[in-house]
Each structure stands twice: as C-alpha cells, then as structure tokens.
Amino acid sequence: MPSFDKPIVVIGAGICGVSTAIWLQRSGHKVILIDRDKPGMAASFGNAGLLAQWALVPVTTPSLWRDAPKYLLDPNSPLFMQWSYFPKMIPWLARYMANATDAKTRAIVNALVPLLTDSVDQHKSLVRGTPMEKWVADSKLSYAYRSLAHFQKDGYGWALKRDAGFVPTMITGQAVREEEPILGSAIQCLAVLEGQGHILNPGQYITELAKYFETQGGTFLQAEFQDFTKEKGHVTQVHTSQGSIDCAKAVITSGIWSKDVMQKLGLSVPLETERGYHVIFKNPSIMPKNPMMMTTGKFGVTPMEMGLRCAGTVELGGIKAKASAGPIKLIHKFAKEAFPNLTYSSTEEWMGFRPSTPDSLPLIGELSRSGIYTGFGHQHIGLTAGPKTGRLIAQMIDDQPSNYDLSPYDPHRYIS
C-alpha cells in the first residue's frame, strides 16, 4: 500500500471531500481534510437526501429553449432569478444554453451513467462495517404526476432513462393512494423505480463520516484556505488561516467555493450557483413510504430522521444575495396540494448553493500534472456521486487504471 511522508490535503469537507479523504486513507495515505466550516455544513447539509441514480437527464434538454422564458415569467414555476445578478450570468448562461441540443443532451447522459447508476452501492461500500451504515436506506423512488398525460409529456427524458435501465412501474388513479397514502387526489400518476436509496440525515451522515475519518488516523482542520505553493509546477504547500501544510498532493472539493480556490492558481472556471431550498415539516402527521419527486414544483420529498424534507427548485443569483421568499412559498404551495391531509408542528427553511458547470458535469481530474486534483461542480448530484468521485480521485492519485472513460469530467475542458 502506498505511503507518503507528506500528507495529501483535501480542501472542502462536504460529501465529495470526506469521501475522497476516506478512500485515500484506505489506500494508505496520510490525509488532512480542511474546511472553513464544520464538515457537511454547505450543500451537503441541505439536499433532498436522494441517491439519485436516475438523475441522468440534464436541465439542458432541447425543450429548454422553449421552456426557459416561460419558467422565468411564471411565479408557479420552479425556476427563479435574482435579476440584479442576471448580467453577471450572461456568459455562463450562453455556454449553458449551448448544451440544450439532442446530441449534447445524450452525451451528458452517457457521461453521467457511470458516475451515478451504482450510487447506492457506492455509498454502502463507503460505510460498510461502520456505524454510518444506519444512515443509508434502501427505498423506491416515485415520480409524482398530476396525470398520465403529464407523465407522457416527459417522454423524452424517460426514453433516456429507459436506455440506461430505469424502467418505471406505472400506477394510476386510486392505486396511487394505495402506494402512497400521503398523496391527495391532485396526484393521479406515479412512475415508480425500484431498487433506489436515500440518506436519512445528510448533515449528520457527513459529520459522522468525518469523525470516522479522524478515528482512523486522519486529521480535520477547521481553517480558511488561502493559497498554494508550487515548486517546478508541482504543489508543495497549502496555506491556511491556521498555518501552512507541507503536502505531497492536494484535492479541491470545495463546492461552489472551488471557483475561488482555482483563482489562486490563476485559473478561471465557469462555475455558477444554483441556489436550492428546502422546507422541513417537523413532527408530520404522516410520512411517505418512500421518497418522491414532485414533478409539479420540481422538488424531492424524503422521509428523514428530523421530519419530512421537501427540497429542490432552482434560483439563479450567486452566493451573496439573501434567501428569497418565492422558492419557499412554491414548495409550501405544491406540498399542500400534494399532501392535503398533512399536519405538522412547525417548519424549518434552508437555502444552499449547488456548484454548476455549463455542461452539467463535474470537474474530476489532475490539473496539468501539478499534483492538484479537482472534484467539484456536481450541480444536483453531489450527494449521489460523492463516494464515487472520491474513489475515482484516490485511484488517479494511486495511478490505478480506470474502467471508465473519464474524459467528460476532465477539468481541462474549461481551463488551459
């Protein structure tokens, strides 16, 4: 097993960073994990908890050209915009919309298949034999539609899912309530996928993964990243607010803040923020049997340890603006429509930042043989793909050949 006198420094302690640290540790490396916050406190904390093996179809399907203006003008759509930020987003949006073609959609789907479709197994492999096994739950996943006709309108996306092996069982009419008693009459169609999974408490899951990493000899340092030192093109130090760390290699897994880390290397990455929201209904009178995706409102519904979490929507607007009322109101509205008999003691709201690239694919790879690796830009699939991303990076660092074509994730597609 490989071992280095100097550690590998992983910058960012969300699911991608913690997973990378654990897989490197299991390969015999000394690892220091750093983050300005406690582990799992950013996007990893507030997501829907879904292990979205089926989330292969990007937002940038060919219909986006028709749908985007309508979504932005419709207060009942799941797409929101901080209009003061819009001018800053124009270059990114132009590159994003350029991917809204059939050929590019299919290329993105093909690239996501190896990264996502074994996600449940990847999470189980990460936690096997540890106390964190309790957080990974097997489940079905139901796409909830107002009618069979609404499901059929999604035929383009479902055809792509079927090609990847995701063939739903269709449930309609009163049988919908037999499958999921929490649903009211507004939902008349379910497309049910078997053999899926979810995390019962994402924030606690990642907190405990980080603690496990420490019990196995790893070091977590709560510190602000400041800069790198390189000698002859190769990283030798990572500088933090708590001092400098001599290192053998470094890994950038800082989510949306990876853009700032990359700027320290003189590299500009087209990474933008999709602001996501969640509402937790505490002490709910009824829970769904399994997680669902509400296609009206575009949010996930997941039974969790702390209550019923409804998480999703997209707001374009950077990281500085305060949370908006619109996405929260939309989740409340469509949750009430779908679950008319739900009562609860209180709610808790949250907003976080998804790091998104123009082609909806993460950056996973080494930067020009510098010893600095990237593992960020996962958009909606960070929790899902975190363990696989960490394992791929560990394999790269150990010069282990991959069975996958990793070129779609190559960070050099956006930087030179």
77-125 pLDDT per residue, tens: 888 889 999 999 999 999 999 999 999 999 999 999 999 999 999 999 9
pLDDT at 402 over 90: no
pLDDT at 215 over 60: yes
Give me the mean pLDDT over the 232-254 stretch: 97
Give me the mean pLDDT over the 272-285 stretch: 95
Q: What is the pTM of this model?
A: 0.95
Position 79 scores a pLDDT of: 87
Percent over 90 (pLDDT), the chain: 89
Position 1 scores a pLDDT of: 39
Give me the mean pLDDT over the 333-358 stretch: 96
SS3 string, the chain, reads CCCCCCCEEEECCCHHHHHHHHHHHHCCCCEEEEECCCCCCCHHHHCCCECCCCCCCCCCCCCHHHHHHHHHHCCCCCEEECHHHHHHHHHHHHHHHCCCCHHHHHHHHHHHHHHHCCHHHHHHHHHCCCHHHHHEEEEEEEEEECCHHHHHHCHHHHHHHHHCCCCCEEEECCHHHHHCCCCCCCCCEEEEEEEEEEECCHHHHHHHHHHHHHHCCCEEEECCEEEEEEECCEEEEEEECCEEEECCEEEECCHHHHHHHHHCCCCCCCCEEEEEEEEEEECCCCCCCCCEEECCCCEEEEEECCEEEEEEEEEECCCCCCCCHHHHHHHHHHHHHHCCCCCCCEEEEEEEEEEECCCCCCEEEECCCCCEEEEECCHHHHHHHHHHHHHHHHHHHCCCCCCCCCHHHCHHHCCC
pLDDT at 43 over 90: no
Residue pair 319/274 in contact by the 8 Å Cβ criterion? no
Tens of pLDDT, residues 116-170: 999 999 999 999 999 999 999 999 999 999 999 999 999 999 999 999 999 999 9
Position 399 scores a pLDDT of: 95
Tens of pLDDT, residues 31-41: 999 999 999 88
Give me the mean pLDDT over the 15-43 stretch: 95
pLDDT at 2 over 50: no
Q: How would residue 416 be classed by pLDDT, with cut points 50, 70 and 90?
A: low
**Phi, psi (degrees; rounded to nearest 5) at 408:** -65, -20
Tell me how far CA of residue 109 lies from CA of 24, 65, 124, 359, 361, in angstroms. Answer: 28, 19, 24, 11, 10
Q: How would residue 380 be classed by pLDDT, with cut points 50, 70 and 90?
A: very high
Domains and CATH numbers, the chain: 8-66+104-413 (3.50.50.60)
Position 393 scores a pLDDT of: 98
Position 4 scores a pLDDT of: 60
pLDDT at 49 over 60: yes
Position 11 scores a pLDDT of: 98
Position 415 scores a pLDDT of: 81
